[in-house]
Structures are given as C-alpha cells and as structure tokens.
Amino acid sequence: MLLEPNRLASYLASKICHDLVSPVGAAASALDFMQETTGEMRDEAENLLETSTNRSLARLQFLRYAFGSMGLSKGAAELHEAKSIAEGYVATHKGRIEWNILAESLSFAQVRVMMNMVMLGMACLSRDGVVKVDINQSDTTTIIVEATGLKARLSPSVKTALNHEEPEDGWDPMTIQPYFTTMIVEELGGHFAFREAEELVEFTAEGL
C-alpha cells in the first residue's frame, strides 16, 4: 500500500506537531506564569522556560533532519553534527543512545534513515532504556538500531505500518513515521527488516 503524497504530507505534519506541542506548550505556560509571579516562583518559571525552549529546539533540529529538506541535501553529512542532533533529541525523552559507527562518511539521505530508525527505537522504550546505533560500511551501508530496556516492545499498529499496511484504527502521528522510514530506505535501494526478542527490538536497513 502506498499513501497519496498529500495524505503522507498531512500525517507527517501531524507527527511534527505531536513532537513539538508538549515543550512549546510548557514554554508558553512558563511565560504566562512569569507574568503573574515574583521571587522564587518566578525563578522556577524561568528555569522551566529555558528547559522547554531547549527541548523544543533539540526536537526541531532533529525533525528538520528526519523529515525536512536537510535530509535531501547532496554530498556527505557531518557525522559529528548528526550524532549531536540525535543525542539532543534522545535527551528530550527517556533513555540514552550509544554509537558504533564503522563508516568513513554517510550521505545526508543515509543519515536521514538513521534519524528515523532512532525514532523507531525510542518509540519502543516505555521506560529508561538504550538505543544502540551500529553502522557498517563496505560496498553498501548497513544501519542497525537496537532498542533494549524494561518492557521494550513494538506495538501492533507500528508493526502493521512497517509492513506497509494501514493500522486497524487508521494512520496517526505514531504510525506514519514507521511507514515513512520504510519508504526512504526503499528509495535508496535498501531493504528494511525488524525482529523482536524479550525486551529487545532491532531494526535493520541494509544495502543503502
């Protein structure tokens, strides 16, 4: 099943809004609170404003790479910057990220795949856990993202979306991103797969 471009764009826009509404809303609340308080309470509001603004910026930078035109740029991506952006995104959620990159360079398109696979891994964690990113390069590039942690699992609706099928309750911000991930892997001529074990979910994109 392939979604029409206008529907795909609408659902991806909903996903972006879904990720940004919480920190942006918290920043707006902090601004309102600052206008009504003084002293120690105002300091707390300022701290909340700073935290929420930083969180919004971290998510926006990541989403710009994962869904925006940055991931379509020509040439090689700056790996240090890409890792920093991914780490910033993960830091706005529960869990942490670990790296094992055995590649001299990655294209912007390959990094976009990596970013989306990190999102998939984060969505599998219900509590603190680890998203491990392994990248190996020979004639082609293989990206493996492993999510491990207490109650780490792949939801049935996401599993359906990864198989290019519409979930029973229809598309939503949580299922459109997995579908999009498989699309961009296939655009690069690659193959996407996933497997589950106890408190572990692994995603593989190979042949990139």
Each residue's pLDDT expressed in tens, for the chain with a length of 208 residues: 678 888 888 888 889 888 888 888 777 777 777 777 766 777 777 777 788 788 889 999 999 999 988 777 888 999 999 999 999 999 998 889 999 999 888 999 999 999 999 999 999 998 789 999 999 998 899 999 999 998 899 999 999 999 988 898 889 888 999 999 999 999 999 999 999 999 999 999 999 9
Tell me, rounded to whole angstroms, the distance of Cα 45 from its chain centroid. Answer: 28
> What are the φ and ψ backbone dihedral angles of 183, each rounded to 5 degrees?
-65, -45
Q: Do 19 and 187 meet the contact criterion of CB atoms below 8 Å apart? A: no
Q: How far apart are CA 50 and CA 53, in angstroms?
A: 5
118, amino acid identity: V
The gap from C-alpha 115 to its chain's centroid, in whole angstroms, comes to: 6
The CATH classification number of 5-206 equals 3.30.565.10
For the chain, what are the domain ranges?
5-206
